Structures are given as C-alpha cells and as structure tokens.
Amino acid sequence: MFKRVVTAAVAAVLIAGLGGCGRGDDVRDEGTGHSAGVGHGSGTGVEESRPAPATTTDASVFGLRDEVRHLAAKTTRATRPHMTRKCTTATRRVKHTTRSGSGTKRRTRTWYSTEPSRSCKQVRSGTETYTRVVRPERWCVSLDDLGGDARRDDVWYQVRRATYDAAVGTHRSARMKFTPTGSGC
C-alpha cells in the first residue's frame, strides 16, 4: 500500500513538471491577438522572458509599459484513491468495583457490564476523478527602460489582476509603477 502511494506521488510530481513544459499555445500577443509561441522558435518575434533584476529595498518597479500577457490556467483530469469512513461496532465487558468500610470491615463489590464500542477508520474504496491545476492563472506585464535605465528592456513581471487590467487600459510606452508578485512570465 505504501509503495503505491509513493509511486503515485512521484508520478504526480513528474506530470506536473512536464506539464509546465507545454507548447505555449495559450499565450496571446497583445498587438496581433495571435498565439505567441514563447521560446519555441515559432518565428513570431516575441522574445523569451528574461529573469528580473535583483530587487532593491523598495519592492516596486517602474518603467515604460511594453506588452501584457494573460496565461490561462492549465488543468488536467487526474485520479486519486477514494477514501471512505468505515465503522465497526462491538461490545466489550467492563469491570466495575466499589469499596466500602475500613480496616477489617472493608468490603469490595465487583460487577461486570457490557457496553457498546465503536471504532472508525478511513479505507480505500476505488478511485475518484478530480481536476488538478498544472499551472495557475497568471497576468504579466513587460517593462522597457526598467528603473530609468534605457538599456534594460523587455523585463517581464507577474502582477495582480488589477495591475494587469490597469496596464491593458493604458497605451504602450506609458510610465507604470507597480509591485510585482513574481518575476518572469
């Protein structure tokens, strides 16, 4: 039983790792609305994201808005053991004792009774299908002239949905300042 659980866990980790290496078909280029094919030689001219620079004491970044991307969540159907609660009832014999008196007049009275007992445990009962998230939904914004440095262009950041919506509402090359939730996209 333990070997099956370990094998299933290893398989889940491998599937999740390989699922992140998808083709990138769900990445949309803002300008054309076509699939961007990020980093897979599709010839669309979209540059693969670069790692973010080392952050300073201030967590916010600023620069000129370049492009925005929305990466939809990737999910897959998976199976896992279905666990149910199984209870058994039984009876047990319980000994009761009372003492009275003291010294040589001490008396002990003993009697027995039968009481019900119940024990429950989780047991496997087949399998169940569920939706597993391979990659969570992400919103990304690319900045040019990062921190005022004209040499630092096309730096991608993961942002909150509100920041993404604000970036979509502005024109390209608008100055933006925000606090990213992650680097790269």
For residue 113, what pLDDT is reported?
Answer: 94
117-137: per-residue pLDDT in tens? Answer: 999 999 999 999 999 999 999
Percent of the chain with pLDDT over 90: 42
CA distance 70 to 137: 8
**pLDDT class for 58, splitting at 50, 70, 90?**
low
140-185: per-residue pLDDT in tens? Answer: 999 888 888 878 888 899 999 999 999 998 888 889 899 999 888 8
What one-character DSSP code corresponds to residue 50? B
For residue 17, what pLDDT is reported?
Answer: 60
Ranges of beta strands (E only) in 101-154 are 107-135, 138-144
Q: What is the pTM of this model?
A: 0.46
The strand pairing partners of 113, in sequence order, are 94
6-52: per-residue pLDDT in tens? Answer: 677 766 666 666 555 544 444 444 444 444 444 343 333 334 444 45
Strands 175-178 and 155-159: unpaired
Q: Where are the domains of the chain?
A: 23-72+137-183, 80-128
Amino acid at 145: D
